[in-house]
Structure 1
Amino acid sequence: MDLMVRDGVISNELWDVVEPVLPTNVGRRGRPWNDHRTTLEGIIWRFRTGSPWRDLPAEFGPYQSVWQRHRLWSIDGTYEAMVAAVHEHAGLGHEDLEAILSIDSTSVRAHQHAAGARHDSVVTDAQEDTGGSFELHEFSDRARGAA
């Protein structure tokens, strides 16, 4: 049984397990859903590459639509239903399922702002009163004897 996602394409077997728990157009007002499989592959592509949503290749559809579906599925429990369906179908124990779904930290990118500590978390003697950069320049000028 090949339930793994390979090369950005969802296997037919995985799709057969996941598709029944996805929302349908029945009773839905407005435009019909874009193809769920293509959208899910776009979501997977985005998280696998770490790219911004706006860099999603056109073959997955408009990035706004893919992001909106991801947001909706996060809120309405669709992702939980997909995981439960895979769990039930595969007959895996909790630990086995976690091993399949675990994140390999060698491929996870930290956001650029995660590179260091907050500026106000490190306090030096010169920053003790206000912590502002203008005040630091003023303090260093006074220390050198400038007016």
Structure 2
Amino acid sequence: MIDAIVFKYRTGTPWMELPERFGSWKGAHNRLRMWAVDGTWEKVFTALLAQADAEGDLDWVIPVDSTVVRAHQHAAGARQKGLRPASRTTMPSDGPAAD
């Protein structure tokens, strides 16, 4: 099951196109969902991290990206310089009045 799940996410293959060697795609999909809901994945990753940390295989380097992306002032809704034009006056319609 784990190989099927890894293959699906590594290749981006839709579940229904999972190769037959992995068994039923429905079984792999349902197992992934059940393990996500009941906390199995969290337990597995926590155990793997603890084991790798105990063996000294983790450096615990956390990359921090300080990139700032700013929108153009007009895209952000900034007021434009100068006075805003007055709204156009509404002219009455020539049609019949509503009752």
Say which of 3, 15, 23 aligns to 1:61.
23
* Percentage of identical aligned residues: 34
Q: Distance in 1 between matches of 2:5 and 2:37?
A: 15
Q: Distance in 2 between matches of 1:66 and 1:76?
A: 15
Q: Distance in 1 between matches of 2:47 and 2:20?
A: 29
SS of aligned partner of 2:2: helix
Q: Which of structures 1 and 2 has the larger relative contact order (alpha carbons within 8 angstroms, sep 6+)? A: 1
Question: What aligned pairs does 1:91-110 form with structure 2 within 5 A after superposition?
Answer: 91=53, 92=58, 95-96=60-61
Q: Distance in 2 between matches of 1:78 and 1:49?
A: 23
Scaled by the length of structure 2, the TM-score of the pair is 0.55
Deviation at 1:78, TM superposition (A): 0.6
Question: What aligned pairs does 1:1-147 form with structure 2 within 5 A after superposition?
Answer: 39-91=1-53, 92=58, 95-96=60-61
Deviation at 1:40, TM superposition (A): 0.4
Deviation at 1:43, TM superposition (A): 0.2
Deviation at 1:73, TM superposition (A): 0.6
Q: Distance in 1 between matches of 2:9 and 2:19?
A: 13
Larger helix share, 1 or 2: 1
AA matched with 1:68: N
The gaps in structure 1 that reach 5 residues or longer are: 1-38, 100-147
Deviation at 1:45, TM superposition (A): 0.1
Q: Which has the larger radius of gyration?
A: 2
The gaps in structure 2 that reach 5 residues or longer are: 64-99
Kindly report structure 1 stretches of 4+ aligned residues shifted beyond 4 Å.
Answer: none
Deviation at 1:79, TM superposition (A): 0.6
Scaled by the length of structure 1, the TM-score of the pair is 0.38
